[in-house]
Structure 1
Amino acid sequence: MMRMFECKCFAVLVLSIIFCCTVQAQMKPNWKMQPVPVQTRWAKEVFPTNVLPEYPRPQLIRKDNWQNLNGLWDYTITDTSASVPSDYQGQILVPFSLESALSGVQKPLLPSQNLWYRRSFIKPKLKRGQKILLNFGAVDWQATVFVNGKEVGKHTGGYTAFSFDITDMLQLENNELVVKVFDPTDAGFNPHGKQTLYPANIYYTAISGIWQTVWLETVSASRIVDLGIKTNIENGTVMCNINSEMLDSNIQMEVTISTERKILNRTIGKYKDLFSLKIPNVRLWSPEDPFLYDLSVKLLKKGKVVDEVNSYFGMRKVDIQKDSKGIDRIFLNNRPYFNLGTLDQGYWPEGLYTAPTDAALKFDIEVIKAMGFNTIRKHIKVEPARWYYYADKIGVLVWQDFVNPPPSLPDNSKNEFEKESKEIMDQLDNYTCITTWVLFNERWGSYDQKRLTEWVKKRDPSRIVNGHTGELLYINNQLRSPSDSPYVSSDITDLHSYPYPMMAVKHVGKAMVCGEFGGVGVSVPGHQWTDLQGWGYIQVKPKELEIKYKFMIDTLSKLREEGLSASIYTEPFDVEGEENGLLTYDREIVKIPIEKIQRIHNPLIQSNKLSLLYSNSLIVKNIDLNDTDDQYKQFLALYESGKRDSIFLRRLTLMAFRLKDQKCLTKIGKSYIDKLTCLYTKENLFFISNITRTTDDEGFRIFQSNPEKINKILGRNEAENMVKSIISNEYIEPFLHIGGSSPNWDKMATLLKSKYGVIGSEKVFGTAMIYYLDRKDWNSFGKYYSLYYKTALSRSEYHINNISWLLFQNVNSPEDLEMGCQTMKYSIEHFDQLNFNAYDTYANLLYKLGKREAAIEWEERAKEMAPTYHNVIENLKKMKEGINTWK
């Protein structure tokens, strides 16, 4: 999905309809769920004493030998240079991330900070030769683990499980477990998906720390580590590769396949890597019949069980074949199978990456299938093991995205991406539901596509590889991202088309799919993350959605006849500021009745069996088609007759805002603000900033008068940015239209400084800087760059490194270059400590000023951070040789 615009708010968006009034779970006096604008029905079932109690690893079960460590842990946040703390600032509910409401904390973790966890546990009783493993489902991003003050190991990667043998570090009774977490989110080189420190549409609240179950496991010294299961439906065999820790060569392995407690095949042999078992009368797995076989593996010594694990598998095959008309299609079990999918992001209002309960996790798959979808594209996130278990058991195909690397970063980001992608493939390899690996999404962080696509195909030939979903991206039939070789080495030709689906490009041997379409936004009052205008590629009224959706699916039916093999609709659920889901974010309201969605889908998938899951467990309400802004006149009449309660005023304010009735917005907005008893909260200030449009609005006065207080709540410069935006709209934009070819910027700056202080003149100088940048008048650009940054160093509205690089390349004035040096030095000290590009810009500015030794010193620092980056290497070489680094 393409990023459309950025939100102004730095922090986690937490908006509630009735502010200062929180709906909290009454669990324990030292923990409570933090307020969120909406929450799912399962949030109230979360208790510190019973958090996600289900066995976390359904494909490798030792059910009687584990201890769940979920629950209340101590936590604290320090800077990254701090050692193991002795004092902790509060408690956090594991496994909910620091930023989530269910954690009880709901704070962001900055790139300059570490998050620390601590808890104690009793050493489990051990028999001779047994070991204790400490298991983590997932920790985002880098975890360092200590037991009783000793480091036991470190793991990087926010989406995969890891374990440590802690047996030798345990004491007889109480033991202390400490976990240190570093997570730079989108400021580092780590894969981070759609998380961002600055939430915006299609980018969401970051998560940091432990976000899946933590547990202890008692195992034998000789034990099964994991299984590799590959099926062959042609000859009805299962290949089982057993990875084990084996301390005794006399131990045998026993592999048993059964169904409904009836043994179908069993083999016993000495220690070896691979077992092959035949299955009689094979029953194939599919979304219409998600049949699973039980698998048991034992280690035996003299007939006694040393270790035993239970697992399962499904018999299915997926590949690309030609149909009876010679069209390349996706085949399931040697039959053409249209993958009717939806783009599931796996976010929850109260838990973010973590579902509040196991039932909630299961619900998402059930309701998606109940709507008639047979495929889920798991979008740039890896779920807990139990999600894939339910996908296997309920029966949906899964297209699994890799977690994209950040763009424009040095080789360590690529190395980390490939390491983590390998771990993801290894961890998810046995799940029957996963039929397709999705390498890159819309070029986000993409590189070496041919090599990596072929690497994935070679590593797992049993699945389809979609190497580059959405490399061709169409918005309203206009191509936004042309590409010379968009489908190199892929099994699929895949384009994204918003809002309406399109046919993909035809290539011999590749199936054609529409990897994303839809994005139709529908707001549902009372069920929104933010009741300000939600986002969708198009925004429609509730009555229009069913008509548009049916048209899209009818279009897919026609494209299917022409050769389309799959489609992915955006999306099943609203996510934070996005309102393009078929259900609301809280999973309470469905925007088209489920029965109607089923009927719309049935002609396309030609199967009625997928709808059988619609039951009492999937209680959702249908949308009220009349609850829209069409009621504005009636609401205004109620206002004039004296209705003034907070909920009503807020709704009416938003109606006036959306309908652009500025006169009423100013009046009603002030009425709403006057009703607020706690004005200076993140939620209220964020709302006020968004409804403030003119200098006459009450919000302008509040933000202009109290910038320091507001910035402490909303984030750096948020108050000034809002004030500048309104000044620009009211004064500078009209001035540009009447100013002709040579606007008198200095006169305008003097006027606005007299009205609004330095903020006024600063906005003028910044606008003038961009004005002359667009016209390539470099002397004037340099002049206004200097005037702007004399006051705007700490509150720049522009990307300092990018704008300063243009200064270096095009301006020769020593005074302006000196200002550029001061600006870049400030930026490095305060914002860009980890950005080698900023070091490079600063070094080049110094060099152009004739400060060669200092320039070489800073360029060498840039090279240390990015040792293989070509431009830095070349610039350093030129500096040492005394050659200009600018044209």
Structure 2
Amino acid sequence: MKQSFILAFLLAASTCSLSAQEWKPAGDKLMTPWAAQVNPQQPHPEYPRPQFIRKNNWQNLNGLWKYAILAKDHQQIPNHWDGDILVPFAVESALSGVGKPLNKDQSLWYQTEISLSKKLNKGKTLLHFGAVDWQCEVFVNGKSVGTHEGGFDAFSIDISDALKKGAKQQITLRVWDPTSDGPQPRGKQINNPHGIWYTPVSGIWQTVWLESVPKSYISSTQQTPNVDQSVLKVAAAIEGAQAQDQIQLIAYDNGQKIAESTAAAGQEQDLKLSNIQLWSPSHPKLYDLEVKLLRKGKVVDQAQSYFAMRKISKKTDGKGIERMYLNDEFLFHYGPLDQGWWPDGLHTAPSDEALKFDIEKTKEMGFNMIRKHIKVEPARWYRHCDSIGIMVWQDMPSGDLGGNIWDMHPGKFRFGKHDKIRTAASEAIYRKEWDRIMTNLHNFPSIVIWVPFNEAWGQFKTKEIVQWTKQKDPSRLVNGASGGNFIEPADILDLHNYPDPAIPDPARFGKDYILAVGEFGGLGLPIEGHTWQQKDNWGYQSFKTKEELKARYSQLITELSELIKLGLSAGVYTQTTDVEIETNGLMTYDRKVIKIPIEELHQIHQKLYDKNLIN
């Protein structure tokens, strides 16, 4: 009996190893340096939720799953599979090992057999998905346990009742994603990639994982710094709470306790802090936070988190111009338009090291901000921004495009006149996902601005959406309409202008707004051997040498600095990297070539942070 068990174990292990050895990236497209380092037995092994950690009670499910592409109306769990897919890479990506498109008339099925860790056999078992694009139904051991719609928001399902005795469990997913044939938020994806529109992303594209929690547990926290009062406001959500339960908060600075507070579960607490150091790009100070659920003095559940104390606000300067202030000091926001796309993984970076690389290089180049363009990143990306010290303007991914009416304003930028009329179903999809995105990302201090709409792409009921966004999160500023459809600008007037930077005219809309150029530049330089395709690549203005590119870029920064004197508070350069046929990145799409030396970029940018520009 013992020999049979050992033989079976060795056979299973060899089969797993063989399957992993057979995996390879699909197709012949461009690859980043990290593609060769992907471990098919467990890609992205890092703990995926850095703002709320229970590190001893989790199990990573990334790796090779089975997949099948079937008709959209196929409802039964398949008996036959097309092959293996590497989770968490989208089916269209090279790193999935599949590289196949999915259309609106098809469904994508996944299945994996797991061995449930013994440490997850107590209390409740939660199945977490970082992101699945777009609509999915989840089955555990053949039983449907839940559904979800939304391609950019994390979600979890309690699967405790569907688990069977023993370690072996089966998890199955059915996914439907119409991409540009549907009204859902999709960002830059399109069924027919061209121009500024990229390859679709369907199915699982962030980490899948299991977590064990007690029957009563802390499901989430909302942490909001109030610098003026020197407090961190904390609200904890509890599942299965009982009368007399309490939440205890303990703040630490480098392991030393600096504050403590206890209150009834369900009650928002003000954690009073003293001698605080404020977070900024030049000093990204983070504090640790311990959150405990107490019952009769005993710890029922606990999690580790972190926070920062920082304040973003709109204030009038000495010349009567509205400016953006960080911690009550003017700081010009300058950063790249960051699409967050990868030639090998599409929406998914090949590794956490790669995910961090873009942010590190952005900071080294002398930027202090990133505009995350109509995409939401995995939670670890925001953690890296928090730690490295980069402010984030977070866009809502757009969808249901077309239908807005424009007029042309003298100059090169456009001002919209009308909202798009969207169906009730389309509106509901947008509201639900934007609400979840803001909730999921609330605790990351690097995020300082919400951007609900970009260039009138699907823009609807602007005043209502902008006001709702501000009410949901009064602790941040709102850029209501990046790119000119200024029906309700909220805090910021933000135009897009290529290639030279420009400044909005406050005389047309009033002087109550911060002025920003939310996109400019787009200077293109294709680097041979590092492009998505051999020819027909483009930028808003193209160059043949790095020297020409640097000279023109330097000129744009000089122009930008002059606009700061006239009232400009922020600029966003297009863009961090090349993306597919766009060659207007500061880095190539494969991240192997930086087109202007980092040290020179850093030096060029310093003139933008001269405090004398507004005096």
**Correspondence for 2:109:** 116
- Residues 1:585 and 1:247: Cα distance change in structure 2 (over 3 Å): same
2:587 pairs with 1:583:
yes
Q: Which amino acid aligns with 2:491?
A: D
Question: Which secondary structure state, in structure 2, belongs to the residue aligned with residue 146 of structure 1?
Answer: strand
- C-alpha deviation, 1:454, in angstroms: 1.1
The correspondence for 1:196, drawn from 182, 190, 195, is: 190
Deviations 1:240-261 (A, max 9, x none): 0001113432433210011100
**Correspondence for 2:317:** 323
Question: Which secondary structure state, in structure 2, belongs to the residue aligned with residue 365 of structure 1?
Answer: helix
**Correspondence for 2:414:** none
Note if contact 1:221-1:247 (Cα within 8 Å) is conserved in structure 2: no
Deviations 1:83-124 (A, max 9, x none): 221111100000000000000000001110000000011234
**Correspondence for 1:562:** 566
**Correspondence for 1:456:** 469
- C-alpha deviation, 1:222, in angstroms: 0.6
> For 1:624-643, what aligned pairs fall within 5 Å after superposition?
none
**Correspondence for 1:355:** 349
**Correspondence for 1:637:** none
Note if contact 1:243-1:273 (Cα within 8 Å) is conserved in structure 2: no
Deviates more, 1:598-607 or 1:573-582: 598-607
- C-alpha deviation, 1:36, in angstroms: 3.5
Structure 1 distance, partners of 2:263, 2:242, is 14
Note if contact 1:320-1:509 (Cα within 8 Å) is conserved in structure 2: no
Q: Which amino acid aligns with 2:138?
A: V
Deviations 1:305-325 (A, max 9, x none): 211111011111111101122
The correspondence for 1:102, drawn from 95, 113, 120, is: 95
The correspondence for 2:532, drawn from 518, 529, 536, is: 529
**Correspondence for 1:249:** 243
**Correspondence for 2:544:** 541
**Correspondence for 1:882:** none
Deviations 1:609-659 (A, max 9, x none): xxxxxxxxxxxxxxxxxxxxxxxxxxxxxxxxxxxxxxxxxxxxxxxxxxx
2:208 pairs with 1:208:
no
**Correspondence for 1:417:** 430
**Correspondence for 1:476:** none
Q: Which amino acid aligns with 1:239?
A: K
**Correspondence for 1:35:** 27
> What are the ranges of 5 or more consecutive residues in structure 1 without an aligned counterpart?
1-25, 472-482, 608-887
2:78 pairs with 1:85:
yes
Question: Which secondary structure state, in structure 2, belongs to the residue aligned with residue 38 of structure 1?
Answer: coil
> For 1:819-858, what aligned pairs fall within 5 Å after superposition?
none
The correspondence for 1:437, drawn from 418, 432, 450, is: 450
**Correspondence for 1:64:** 56
Q: Which amino acid aligns with 2:497?
A: S
Note if contact 2:92-2:100 (Cα within 8 Å) is conserved in structure 1: yes
Which is bigger in relative contact order (C-alpha 8 A, separation at least 6)? 2
**Correspondence for 1:132:** 125
Structure 2 distance, partners of 1:509, 1:286, is 25
Q: Which amino acid aligns with 2:472?
A: R
- C-alpha deviation, 1:211, in angstroms: 0.2
Structure 2 distance, partners of 1:128, 1:538, is 59
> For 1:735-774, what aligned pairs fall within 5 Å after superposition?
none
- C-alpha deviation, 1:430, in angstroms: 1.0
- C-alpha deviation, 1:129, in angstroms: 6.3
Deviations 1:246-296 (A, max 9, x none): 343243321001110000011223323211111111100000000011111
**Correspondence for 1:672:** none
- C-alpha deviation, 1:304, in angstroms: 3.1
Q: Which amino acid aligns with 2:515?
A: M
Aligned length: 569
**Correspondence for 1:147:** 140
Deviates more, 1:505-514 or 1:332-341: 505-514
> For 1:253-268, what aligned pairs fall within 5 Å after superposition?
253-268=247-262
Q: Which amino acid aligns with 1:349?
A: P
Q: Which amino acid aligns with 1:494?
A: D
> For 1:239-638, what aligned pairs fall within 5 Å after superposition?
239-407=233-401, 408=403, 410-471=423-484, 486-506=486-506, 507-542=510-545, 543-606=547-610
Structure 1 distance, partners of 2:592, 2:200, is 24
Question: Which secondary structure state, in structure 2, belongs to the residue aligned with residue 376 of structure 1?
Answer: strand
Q: Which amino acid aligns with 2:451?
A: V
Question: Which secondary structure state, in structure 2, belongs to the residue aligned with residue 240 of structure 1?
Answer: strand
**Correspondence for 2:231:** 237
Q: Which amino acid aligns with 1:35?
A: G
Question: Which secondary structure state, in structure 1, belongs to the residue aligned with residue 144 of structure 2?
Answer: strand
Q: Which amino acid aligns with 1:45?
A: Q
Structure 2 distance, partners of 1:269, 1:433, is 28
**Correspondence for 1:14:** none
Question: Which secondary structure state, in structure 2, belongs to the residue aligned with residue 468 of structure 1?
Answer: coil
Q: Which amino acid aligns with 2:377?
A: E
Q: Which amino acid aligns with 1:406?
A: D
Note if contact 1:142-1:158 (Cα within 8 Å) is conserved in structure 2: yes
State the superposition RMSD in angstroms: 1.5
Note if contact 1:493-1:504 (Cα within 8 Å) is conserved in structure 2: yes
Structure 1 distance, partners of 2:399, 2:525, is 31
**Correspondence for 2:14:** none
**Correspondence for 1:170:** 163
Q: Which amino acid aligns with 1:491?
A: D
Identity score, percent: 47
**Correspondence for 2:408:** none
Deviates more, 1:513-522 or 1:402-411: 402-411
Structure 2 distance, partners of 1:126, 1:249, is 28
- C-alpha deviation, 1:163, in angstroms: 0.7
Note if contact 2:389-2:446 (Cα within 8 Å) is conserved in structure 1: yes
- Residues 1:489 and 1:88: Cα distance change in structure 2 (over 3 Å): same
The correspondence for 1:76, drawn from 68, 73, 79, is: 68
Question: Which secondary structure state, in structure 2, belongs to the residue aligned with residue 28 of structure 1?
Answer: helix
- C-alpha deviation, 1:379, in angstroms: 0.3
Q: Which amino acid aligns with 1:488?
A: E
**Correspondence for 1:181:** 175
Note if contact 1:454-1:489 (Cα within 8 Å) is conserved in structure 2: no
Note if contact 1:123-1:172 (Cα within 8 Å) is conserved in structure 2: no
Structure 2 distance, partners of 1:116, 1:598, is 47
Structure 2 distance, partners of 1:270, 1:313, is 22
Structure 1 distance, partners of 2:186, 2:229, is 41
- TM-score (structure 2 length as normaliser): 0.90
Structure 2 distance, partners of 1:127, 1:605, is 51
Note if contact 2:278-2:309 (Cα within 8 Å) is conserved in structure 1: yes
- Higher percent of residues as helix: 1
Note if contact 1:135-1:163 (Cα within 8 Å) is conserved in structure 2: yes
- State the structure with more CA Rg: 1
- C-alpha deviation, 1:35, in angstroms: 3.2
Deviations 1:2-53 (A, max 9, x none): xxxxxxxxxxxxxxxxxxxxxxxx9834311123332111111101112100
> What are the ranges of 5 or more consecutive residues in structure 2 without an aligned counterpart?
1-17, 404-421
- C-alpha deviation, 1:301, in angstroms: 3.0
> For 1:220-235, what aligned pairs fall within 5 Å after superposition?
220-235=214-229
Structure 1 distance, partners of 2:105, 2:121, is 45
Structure 1 distance, partners of 2:387, 2:119, is 35
Structure 2 distance, partners of 1:292, 1:385, is 16
- Residues 1:27 and 1:582: Cα distance change in structure 2 (over 3 Å): farther
Structure 2 distance, partners of 1:111, 1:553, is 44
- C-alpha deviation, 1:201, in angstroms: 1.5
